[in-house]
Chain A
């Protein structure tokens, strides 16, 4: 069987540093998978390689049969891969609704003529309606509907996280990558986030969680890949990862 995402011996060199060194792996349709590793392990770099933000130094990435290598981020997005950012990147001077609409309108562009004459043609109206509906659906999914008219800059930190996820959901992706979604959240908020991610997964979305912190990932992921110093050191269920000597050494520095 072919995998949804296939990472084949990818590497990325920054000057003399091999940030990602010969990493292979795969993600299947419908999986909820974690990518963990200590600080500087290459998680975010690997993730940037998948989403087109950083060009590969070697290896290949394929998604649903299409080669991802060399594509620009917006082309990768249109294949159905959607991402959030580690350091929150909402559009501060736009309303919550307008923020999320960019996710929908980026995938289904309205275009110059659509904007000029949209209301006058049936096709143009249908496109604007579709963007509106996708946006409302995404806002409903994260529970920000009541704040739709609020300026994004006015939202507290925790809600901005959900805003960013809503924007990614409005793209209606096949594969969602969340980069350190729990960073900066307290325990209660992290638990709520874990439940939310499980619900999204329950609706059939394939999700990859990139996390520095083990607890969230261990609690909800079906399978976990572990990176350390740019190499993949383990890949398996949370239980096997927990007992894996290489993982313990990377995280705790103990000679297990």
Chain B
């Protein structure tokens, strides 16, 4: 056949409802929160967005590339501490610390990945567990640099090239825009032929190797990229809350992010987003239950895995959704099924 038969699938506006609804929700949300006039709700909204980014970044390495990563929160911490230290010691603002936090986390991830990337399955998981613990202990015990368990106060709020964005509403929109841009980037990476080669490593890395896929290099890339986005989330967190301490980045946070990815659906980006929103908003919504709320959260997670092992929004439907929603596919003939990536 010749290539002229390939027609891009026109998407986006053909089924705009879910996307527009989501955009409207995020844009209108501040107005609703302003109605309650409580900083607490803003904190929850911002925290959800940051965990959406953490969950999406872990989706790339664990969901798509299939590497069980048990130390993700540590790279979030590396990003947050980079932002806090650059801002308190060198006086840098958010505009500079945002990319630098991402790059520092990515650099640390690259260095620790060099010796660990050849490990497979459970051995890799244990190695990332150890890396996470090491980074956490550095944050906790290198008192001269990190002030240890006392944490660091970050006086500079969000800003863009000196223009302050530190009010409640500007902070929310800044966090939302940064997170949205990062999620779009992660979407491009996972919904592409590049993403397909990462998936092939998850499915059968020896077989992928025989197809010419540079498996070790791609695993390094997925690991490093996910750390970059976690570092960006860390910078957002540091400037948004104004105070960070090692407890924010301990092992249980890594497990929480992993749970978000799994509950939402391994390999599914929309699933990772939904999982993050669920596991942040549900415990907050259940505060009225007092001590029972953690049991309820556990029960919801347990039941969702039991009844929907492929997640709330499984990979197959997620890929189909991405192709239709964003027209991210070629189709063979006009009117044909949208397939492949574009």
Q: 18 new A-B pairs (CB below 8 Å) besides A91-B207, A105-B193? A: A74-B214, A74-B215, A77-B211, A82-B210, A101-B193, A101-B340, A102-B199, A109-B214, A114-B194, A115-B195, A116-B188, A118-B188, A129-B330, A132-B342, A136-B6, A145-B332, A167-B211, A168-B211
Mark interface residues in B167-204 (1 if CB within 8 Å of A CB, else 0).
00000000000000000010011001111110110011
Q: Does B3 contact A (CB under 8 A)?
A: yes
Q: Does B307 contact A (CB under 8 A)?
A: no
> Are B342 and A119 touching (Cβ within 8 A)?
yes
> Are B267 and A93 touching (Cβ within 8 A)?
yes
In angstroms, Cα B341 to Cα A101, docked, is 10
Residues of A within 8 A of B267 (CB): 93
In angstroms, Cα B61 to Cα A150, docked, is 25
- Chain A CB within 10 Å — which of B199, B200, B267 has the most? B200
> Are B206 and A53 touching (Cβ within 8 A)?
yes
In angstroms, Cα B215 to Cα A125, docked, is 24
Residues of B within 8 A of A (CB): 1, 3, 6, 185, 188-189, 192-197, 199-200, 203-204, 206-215, 221, 225, 267, 315-316, 319, 330, 332, 337, 339-342
Q: Within A111-136, which residues are at the interface with B (CB < 8 Å)?
A: 111-112, 114-119, 125, 128-129, 131-133, 135-136
In angstroms, Cα B333 to Cα A136, docked, is 12
In order of increasing CB-CB distance, the 7 nearest A-B pairs are A106-B212, A115-B194, A91-B203, A77-B212, A106-B211, A115-B192, A105-B193
Q: Does A89 contact B (CB under 8 A)?
A: yes
Residues of A within 8 A of B213 (CB): 74, 102, 105-106, 109
- Of chain B, the residue at the smallest CB distance from A125 is B342
Residues of B within 8 A of A116 (CB): 185, 188-189
| Option from B6, B200, B209, B221 in Cβ contact (under 8 Å) with A129 | B6
> Are B221 and A109 touching (Cβ within 8 A)?
no
Residues of B within 8 A of A101 (CB): 193, 196, 340-341
> Are A128 and B212 touching (Cβ within 8 A)?
no
> Are A115 and B332 touching (Cβ within 8 A)?
no
Q: Given the interface contacts A114-B194, A129-B6, does A148 sit within 8 Å of B337 by beta carbon?
A: yes
Residues of A within 8 A of B (CB): 51, 53, 72-74, 77-78, 82-83, 85, 89, 91-95, 97-99, 101-107, 109-112, 114-119, 125, 128-129, 131-133, 135-137, 140, 145, 148-149, 151, 167-168, 171
In angstroms, Cα B192 to Cα A51, docked, is 28
Residues of B within 8 A of A89 (CB): 204, 206-207
> Are A91 and B199 touching (Cβ within 8 A)?
yes
- Of chain A, the residue at the smallest CB distance from B332 is A136
Shortest CB distance A185–B (Å): 20
Residues of B within 8 A of A171 (CB): 211-212
Shortest CB distance A153–B (Å): 10
| Option from A104, A106, A140, A145 in Cβ contact (under 8 Å) with B208 | A106
In angstroms, Cα B210 to Cα A182, docked, is 20
Residues of A within 8 A of B319 (CB): 95
In angstroms, Cα B212 to Cα A109, docked, is 9
Q: Given the interface contacts A101-B193, A112-B225, A114-B194, does A132 sit within 8 Å of B340 by beta carbon?
A: yes
Residues of B within 8 A of A115 (CB): 188-189, 192-195
Residues of A within 8 A of B214 (CB): 74, 109
Residues of A within 8 A of B340 (CB): 97, 101, 131-132, 135
In angstroms, Cα B213 to Cα A104, docked, is 10
Residues of B within 8 A of A119 (CB): 342
Residues of B within 8 A of A117 (CB): 188
In angstroms, Cα B209 to Cα A103, docked, is 10
Residues of A within 8 A of B330 (CB): 129, 132
Residues of B within 8 A of A99 (CB): 200
> Are B189 and A131 touching (Cβ within 8 A)?
no
Shortest CB distance A193–B (Å): 20
> Are B193 and A74 touching (Cβ within 8 A)?
no
Residues of A within 8 A of B194 (CB): 105, 109-112, 114-115
> Are A94 and B196 touching (Cβ within 8 A)?
yes
> Are B206 and A102 touching (Cβ within 8 A)?
no
> Are A132 and B212 touching (Cβ within 8 A)?
no
> Are B197 and A132 touching (Cβ within 8 A)?
no
